[in-house]
Amino acid sequence: MKKYILLPLLLLTAAIAPETVSPEPEIYVAATPCDAVPRHLLAVPANLDCEMIKWRLTLRRDPRNLGRDDFKLQYTYGMTKPGTEGFMNDGFSKELSGKWVIAKNTSKLPGKQVFTLQPTNSQSNITLLQMSDRILHLLDTQGNLMIGNSGFSYTFNRQNANL
């Protein structure tokens, strides 16, 4: 008798479950130079002293509803604090969010797919090349790989990747 009561309750619970995006968002982190391209993409003031940008990119996918994929990009920029991984005066922290789309990589660059972040309140899209399941690389506005310097690269590493 308990089986007959429990089964309809389980089915009802599953049917009215709230709509959710992917339970496990993909999180990528990076520390990049504060050069002209990322300054433009992130609206970092040109007259501000800036050496480094720390990025934390969260990608969410909704496999049931194509086109409902969203992202959140948290970033901090400023002058590096010598002898630490941080910023002088804690830097400046900002956030972007919006939709993102995946396209097949049709260029001659190595990599699987191209991820395009489309921020809600920005004119500039941010484009990343998926090099592997764990690595994304920032592309410039012409679609070329960004080249870092002796201290930083433009590589984003997946934080929650199962090793």
In order, the DSSP letters of 80-98 are BPTTSSSBGGG-EEEEEEE
Scanning 45-158, the segments in alpha helix (DSSP H) are none
Domain extents in the chain: 19-158
Alpha-carbon torsion, ordered 58, 26, 116, 30, to 10 deg: 70
**pLDDT tens digit at each of 163 positions of the chain:** 555 554 444 444 444 444 444 468 999 999 999 999 999 999 999 999 999 999 999 999 877 766 668 999 999 999 999 988 889 999 999 999 999 998 888 888 888 899 999 999 877 999 999 999 999 999 999 999 999 998 899 999 999 756 5
pTM as predicted: 0.80
User: 22 and 69 in contact (C-beta within 8 Å)?
Assistant: no
